[in-house]
């Protein structure tokens, strides 16, 4: 009975000293742990976590039964555990930080409440030539010409551009068709689109490592598209050489079998609507900073 009273008194003491910032602190830690758990569960890292858990159990057992050599060995291991974790989980940590860096989840939720309507005057360059890319992709689809087109967004792809041939030209249906013509020297690689321009072609993309969740029927071109979308926020359009089907890879996910209408709608959403949101955000912050400077002066 006394133990129960002590527990209740301790609990009430914690409640009395509990503040709003403590709730925010707990929520933030819970959110971080949730995303780390989700990230680990979706990769091979879950096996490594199981291995670390087994080592912790062995460490507790060795202390309990006074196993001198095992305790000393595990003590030495856990002294460098932080460094070991960073080395072992380097791919997962990198993926998490990349996703965190390009996330605009919070901004999309507050959009419309505080931002002025700036869409028409701040349309991204791609909006003027999107129809050219759509018609080019449809032409490739009809001729069953394999293609890999990467639309750069906020993540700069200079390292990918350097693996191909720089073009820097206005897009046209004929030029894009010539790039991916199966006897052309650049047809095997990817074409990079930057700010509406054809930036480079014949570029080499990283392949996805998540082979477990990728359809076995998808070839190297599709795996390269998914891989590119995993390490950047780029939107990748893939045209199958075998079937002519059109797919889009974005944020590590691939959606397939687009028609002219659905392709234009999806590319408009990903390349124009979301990019306009970023421009609006920048314009809003810039105007707020300008007003603040005027007030201070």
Tens-place pLDDT, residues 200-217: 999 999 998 777 777 778
Examine the pLDDT at 119 and tell me if it is beyond 70. Answer: no
pLDDT for 217: 80
- How crowded is the C-beta side of 236, counted as CA atoms within 13 Å? 32
Q: Which residue has the tokens 């993309």?
A: 205
Examine the pLDDT at 88 and tell me if it is beyond 60. Answer: yes
90 SS3 class: helix
> Residue 209 burial (CB < 10 Å; 0-12/13-18/19+)?
middle
Examine the pLDDT at 191 and tell me if it is beyond 90. Answer: yes
CB 205 within 8 A of CB 168: no
* Spatial separation of the C-alpha atoms in residues 125 and 221, rounded to whole Å: 27
Examine the pLDDT at 122 and tell me if it is beyond 70. Answer: no
- Token output for 59: 């460490």
User: Following CA atoms 175, 178, 184, 187 in sequence, which dihedral angle do they give, to the nearest 10 degrees?
Assistant: 80
* Spatial separation of the C-alpha atoms in residues 71 and 218, rounded to whole Å: 49
Residue 94 phi, psi dihedral angles, 5° rounding: -65, -45
CB 188 within 8 A of CB 202: yes
pLDDT digits (tens, 9 = 90+) for 153-165: 888 888 899 999 9
Measure Cα distances from 46 to 3, 89, 122, 186 in Å: 39, 10, 44, 40
pLDDT for 218: 85
Looking at residues 235-254, what average pLDDT do you find? Answer: 93
Return the higher-pLDDT residue of 276 and 145.
Answer: 145
Select from 233, 238, 209, 231 the least CA-distant residue to 146: 238
Confidence class of residue 128 from pLDDT cuts 50, 70 and 90?
A: confident
pLDDT for 262: 95
pLDDT for 137: 96
265 SS3 class: helix
pLDDT for 204: 94
CB atoms within 10 A of CB 7: 10
pLDDT for 254: 93
CB atoms within 10 A of CB 233: 20
**287: CB partners within 8 A, 6+ apart:** 116
Q: Provide the residue ranges of all domains of the chain, joining segments of one domain with +.
A: 2-110, 126-281
Confidence class of residue 235 from pLDDT cuts 50, 70 and 90?
A: very high
Return the higher-pLDDT residue of 93 and 113.
Answer: 93
Whole-number mean pLDDT of the chain? 80
Examine the pLDDT at 115 and tell me if it is beyond 70. Answer: no
Return the CATH class of domain 126-281: alpha beta
Select from 225, 222, 231, 145 the least CA-distant residue to 192: 225
């Amino acid at each position: 009975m006394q133990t129960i009273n002590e527990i209740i008194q301790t609990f009430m003491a914690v409640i009395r000293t509990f503040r709003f910032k403590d709730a925010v602190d707990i929520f933030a830690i819970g959110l971080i742990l949730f995303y780390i758990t989700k990230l680990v569960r979706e990769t091979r890292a879950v096996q490594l976590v199981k291995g670390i858990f087994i080592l912790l159990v062995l460490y507790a057992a060795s202390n309990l039964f006074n196993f001198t050599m095992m305790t000393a060995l595990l003590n030495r291991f856990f002294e460098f555990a932080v460094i070991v974790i960073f080395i072992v989980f380097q791919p997962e940590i990198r993926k998490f930080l990349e996703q965190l860096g390009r996330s605009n989840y919070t901004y999309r939720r507050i959009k419309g409440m505080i931002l002025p309507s700036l869409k028409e005057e701040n349309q991204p360059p791609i909006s003027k030539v999107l129809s050219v890319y759509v018609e080019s992709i449809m032409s490739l689809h009809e001729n069953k010409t394999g293609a890999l087109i990467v639309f750069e967004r906020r993540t700069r792809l200079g390292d990918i551009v350097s693996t191909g041939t720089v073009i820097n030209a206005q897009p046209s249906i004929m030029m894009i068709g010539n790039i991916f013509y199966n006897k052309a020297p650049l047809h095997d690689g990817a074409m990079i689109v930057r700010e509406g321009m054809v930036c480079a072609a014949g570029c080499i993309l990283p392949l996805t490592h998540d082979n477990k969740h990728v359809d076995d029927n998808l070839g190297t071109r599709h795996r390269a598209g998914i891989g590119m979308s995993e390490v950047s926020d780029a939107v990748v359009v893939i045209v199958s050489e075998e079937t002519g089907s059109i797919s889009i890879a974005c944020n590590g996910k691939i959606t397939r079998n687009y028609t002219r209408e659905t392709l234009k709608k999806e590319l408009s959403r990903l390349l124009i609507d979301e990019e306009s949101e970023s421009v609006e955000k920048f314009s809003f912050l810039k105007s707020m900073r300008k007003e603040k400077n005027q007030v201070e002066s």
